[in-house]
């Protein structure tokens, strides 16, 4: 898709902006890597939601670039700013790989 941004150069992590951040919004930095996100994890093969923060309106907090989440999130969140909404699509190598994350996320 023309409106998707290839963040890795190999098609491994694609970002489509759904809502742009305000012009003066900031993103994570090395000095301030902590982010709070809402997310919905969806299996591309089935469309099934395997995890979400939307049902109970909570946020997930983590430090970008510290390896606490899948590679795709560390890559994509570095490019985002407060208030931005994006759809991130990733290949297995940037997510849970050949092992998956049973029982909800199958291998590859």
Domain-embedded: residue 102:
no
For residue 10, the model assigns a pLDDT of 98
* In-domain check, residue 75: yes
The pLDDT of 28-48, averaged and rounded, is 93
pLDDT tens-digit series, residues 48-58: 999 999 999 99
Alpha helices in 1-108 (DSSP H): 71-77
CATH number at 34 reads 3.10.50.40
pLDDT of 1: 46
What is the mean pLDDT of the segment spanning 72-82?
A: 97
Work out how many domains the chain is built from and give that number: 1
Q: Cα(76)–Cα(29) distance, rounded to whole angstroms?
A: 13
Does residue 27 register a pLDDT over 90?
Answer: yes
pLDDT of residue 108: 84
Residue 104 in any domain: the answer is no
Q: Which residue range(s) make up the domain with 30?
A: 5-96
């Amino acid at each position: 898709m023309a409106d998707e941004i290839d963040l890795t150069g190999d098609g491994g992590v694609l970002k489509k902006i759904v809502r742009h951040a305000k012009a003066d919004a900031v993103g994570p930095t090395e000095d301030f890597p902590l982010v709070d996100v809402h997310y919905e994890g969806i299996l591309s093969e089935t469309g099934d939601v395997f995890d979400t923060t939307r049902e109970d309106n909570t946020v997930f907090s983590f430090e970008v670039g510290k390896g606490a989440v899948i590679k795709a999130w560390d890559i994509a969140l570095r490019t985002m700013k407060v208030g931005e909404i994006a759809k991130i699509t990733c290949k297995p190598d940037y997510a849970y790989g050949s092992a998956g994350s049973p029982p909800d996320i199958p291998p590859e």
